[in-house]
């Protein structure tokens, strides 16, 4: 409990910051004692992380659901447990191969010397996690960092306090203090955390906080991976089959009630197809969610503050002439949780807040366009998005969209799924982030690839030492 009085809060975060420093010191000492943990040690850590996840599924899901008020059990199974277990197993399956030194070709004039790349752990890795997938976004990067042989310190979000506390307990039971630890606390602990001299900082969260984390890390020259957010567009093509696209787009938007970093933020729809789009989206939503307020499949908004933020986005849009169209069937029940009914927002313009900020909820603005040039111009005017979606048939148009836009990742004719693959790197570009992880990309993010040149006993390098002579000139001439 962080206390309710200002003094209580200050006191609790004081303790949190002290615990953070103790945890960091233990990890730092151990990382110096064993710079490159061997395969068996890393496998053992991954096995324990796997067991921690699979044996405590029910407790993990109950804690997250309590933190959200209500969260879809099936969505948690998929996005917290299944994805985390898959990531850990993928690391275990490929660890031996990833750890191997790579032979690199040596140029003729440097032979018979040999060159190779050694993959070594960086040391102590810090992971700052957000609240929207609070278990997966802490443990999937942790798995990659452990596989790469690092010691790991995790800072979960204060918006999911039950899950954060549970993760702390489970990690303490499963790992020695020099292997992995969890430091709980809010923004103050986050700030103290990012000021620590980590060997790598991995941050998932908002662009605004990401900027502060990068600045703090710069003071220590700590390299950062920033997994941020932004406004990810979904472009509906003129030839798009709306009956196919609408359920997929609605799924991507309404999964976790829109509280997904790669959720389609807004839809670009051909002007003459707006009406058909609205109807197809309503049909699709009603088929998936016959009701929302009492529906166990529909997740609540994480906090009162975020629920109010969404209401403000809608008010601000309405005041400036937007039309809000419900997607689900009308309901009389208010429901016990902080749920936000899904809506489309029509007649939007760029001065509305809803078109300037990441929405992070089940509100989908619809932006009409006339030509593909217009749609691309609209997308490219803003920051580079974390994800981009395109729904349509024409291969030529699809290729144009891929070539003429920049985004962290893309799914064609569906939403979200490019993220759920270990072989595709996941990460943003520009304001949506830097660096990437998943699969081997994660292993490399948390490794130093050390180039090594092994000189041969007999070689021709003597000509490169003084006294310089004719052979030197001939060699480089």
289 contacts 328 by C-beta, under 8 angstroms: yes
Smallest distance, ligand NAD to C-beta of residue 85, A: 18
Smallest distance, ligand NAD to C-beta of residue 146, A: 19
Binding region for ligand NAD (CB under 6 A) out of 46-54, 82-90, 186-194, 274-282: 186-194
* Contacting residue, 27, 52, 122, 128, with ligand NAD by CB under 6 A: 128
**Contact between 194 and ligand NAD (CB under 6 A)?**
yes
> Which residue of this chain has its Cβ atom nearest to ligand NAD in the complex?
229
* Contacting residue, 95, 261, 292, 328, with ligand NAD by CB under 6 A: 261
**Contact between 358 and ligand NAD (CB under 6 A)?**
yes
**Contact between 155 and ligand NAD (CB under 6 A)?**
yes
Active site residue 227: yes
**Contact between 204 and ligand NAD (CB under 6 A)?**
yes
3-state SS, one letter per residue, for the chain: CCCCCHHHHHHHHHHHHHHHHHHHHHHHHHHHHCCCCCHHHHHHHHHHHHHHHHHCHHHHHHHHHHHHCCCCHHHHHHHHHHHHHHHHHHHHHHHHHHHCCEEECCCHHHCCCEEEEEEEECCEEEEECCCCCCCHHHHHHHHHHHHCCCEEEEECCCCCHHHHHHHHHHHHHHCCCCCEEECCCCHHHHHHHHCCCCCEEEEECCHHHHHHHHHHHHHCCCCEEEECCCCCEEEECCCCCHHHHHHHHHHHHHHHHHCCCCCCCEEEEEHHHHHHHHHHHHHHHHHHCCCCCCCCCCCCCCCHHHHHHHHHHHHHHHHCCCEEEECCCCCCCCCCCCCCCCEEEECCCCCCHHHCCCCCCCEEEEEEECCHHHHHHHHHHCCCCCEEEEECCCHHHHHHHHHHCCCCEEEECCCCHHHHCCCCCECCCHHHEECCECHHHHHHHCEEEEEEEECCCCCCHHHHCCCCCHHHHHHHC
* Contacting residue, 73, 212, 311, 410, with ligand NAD by CB under 6 A: 212
The interface mask with ligand NAD, positions 289-328, x = CB under 6 A, is ----------------------------------------
Active site residue 261: yes
Annotated active-site residue in 80, 179, 261, 422: 261
Annotated active-site residue in 75, 80, 179, 227: 227
**Contact between 191 and ligand NAD (CB under 6 A)?**
yes
275 contacts 233 by C-beta, under 8 angstroms: no
Smallest distance, ligand NAD to C-beta of residue 159, A: 6
**Contact between 83 and ligand NAD (CB under 6 A)?**
no
Binding region for ligand NAD (CB under 6 A) out of 36-44, 202-210, 322-330, 467-475: 202-210
**Contact between 190 and ligand NAD (CB under 6 A)?**
yes
Q: Which of residues 418-447 bind ligand NAD (CB under 6 A)?
A: 428, 433
Q: CA 437 to CA 351: how far, in whole Å?
A: 35
User: With left for phi above 0 and alpha for psi between -120 and 50, is residue 432 left, alpha or beta?
Assistant: alpha
Smallest distance, ligand NAD to C-beta of residue 260, A: 7
Binding region for ligand NAD (CB under 6 A) out of 101-109, 199-207, 338-346, 459-467: 199-207
* Contacting residue, 13, 72, 91, 132, with ligand NAD by CB under 6 A: 132
Closer residue to ligand NAD (CB): 376 or 431: 431
Closer residue to ligand NAD (CB): 14 or 35: 14
* Contacting residue, 146, 213, 257, 345, with ligand NAD by CB under 6 A: 213
Smallest distance, ligand NAD to C-beta of residue 64, A: 13
Residues that bind ligand NAD (CB under 6 A): 128-132, 137, 155, 157-158, 186-187, 190-191, 194, 204-206, 209, 212-213, 227-229, 261, 358, 360, 386, 428, 433
Residues forming the active site: 227, 261
């Amino acid at each position: 409990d962080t206390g309710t009085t200002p003094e209580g809060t200050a006191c609790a975060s004081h303790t949190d910051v002290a615990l953070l420093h103790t945890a960091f010191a233990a990890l730092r000492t151990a990382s110096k004692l064993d710079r490159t943990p061997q395969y068996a040690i890393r496998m053992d850590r991954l096995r324990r992380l796997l067991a921690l996840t699979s044996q405590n599924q029910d407790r993990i899901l109950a804690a997250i659901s309590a933190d959200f008020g209500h969260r879809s059990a099936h969505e948690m199974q998929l996005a917290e447990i299944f994805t985390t277990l898959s990531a850990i197993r993928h690391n275990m399956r490929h660890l031996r191969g990833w750890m191997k030194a790579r032979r690199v070709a040596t140029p003729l004039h440097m032979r018979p010397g040999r060159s190779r790349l050694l993959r070594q752990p960086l040391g102590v890795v810090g992971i700052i996690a957000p609240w929207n997938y609070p278990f997966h976004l802490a443990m999937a990067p942790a798995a990659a960092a452990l596989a790469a042989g690092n010691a790991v310190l995790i800072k979960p979000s204060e918006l999911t306090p039950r899950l954060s506390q549970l993760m702390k307990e489970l990690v303490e039971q499963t790992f020695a203090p020099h292997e992995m630890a969890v430091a709980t606390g809010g923004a103050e602990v986050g700030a103290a955390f990012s000021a620590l001299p980590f060997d790598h900082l991995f941050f998932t969260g908002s662009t605004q906080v990401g900027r502060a984390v990068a600045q703090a890390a710069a003071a220590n020259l700590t390299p950062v991976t920033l997994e941020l957010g932004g406004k990810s567009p979904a472009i509906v093509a003129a030839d798009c089959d709306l009956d196919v696209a609408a359920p997929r787009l609605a799924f991507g938007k309404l999964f976790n009630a829109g509280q997904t970093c790669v959720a389609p933020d807004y839809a670009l729809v051909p002007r003459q197809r707006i009406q058909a789009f609205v109807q197809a989206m309503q049909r699709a939503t009603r088929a998936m969610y016959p009701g929302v307020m009492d529906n166990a499949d529909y997740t609540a908004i994480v906090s009162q503050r975020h629920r109010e933020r969404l209401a403000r986005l809608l008010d601000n849009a309405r005041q400036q002439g937007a039309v809000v169209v419900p997607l689900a069937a009308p309901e009389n029940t208010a429901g016990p949780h902080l749920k936000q009914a899904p809506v489309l927002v029509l007649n939007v313009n760029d001065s509305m807040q809803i078109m300037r900020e990441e929405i992070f909820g089940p509100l989908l603005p619809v932006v009409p366009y006339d030509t593909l040039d217009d749609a691309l111009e609209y997308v490219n005017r803003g920051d580079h998005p974390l994800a981009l979606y395109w729904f349509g048939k024409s291969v030529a148009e699809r290729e144009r969209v891929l070539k003429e836009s920049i985004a962290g990742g893309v799914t064609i004719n569906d939403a979200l799924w490019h993220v759920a693959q270990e072989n595709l790197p996941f990460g943003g570009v520009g304001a949506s982030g830097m660096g990437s992880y998943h699969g081997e990309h994660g292993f490399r993010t948390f490794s130093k690839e050390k180039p090594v040149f092994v000189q041969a006993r007999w070689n021709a390098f003597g000509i490169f030492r003084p006294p310089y002579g004719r052979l030197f000139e001939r060699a480089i001439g």
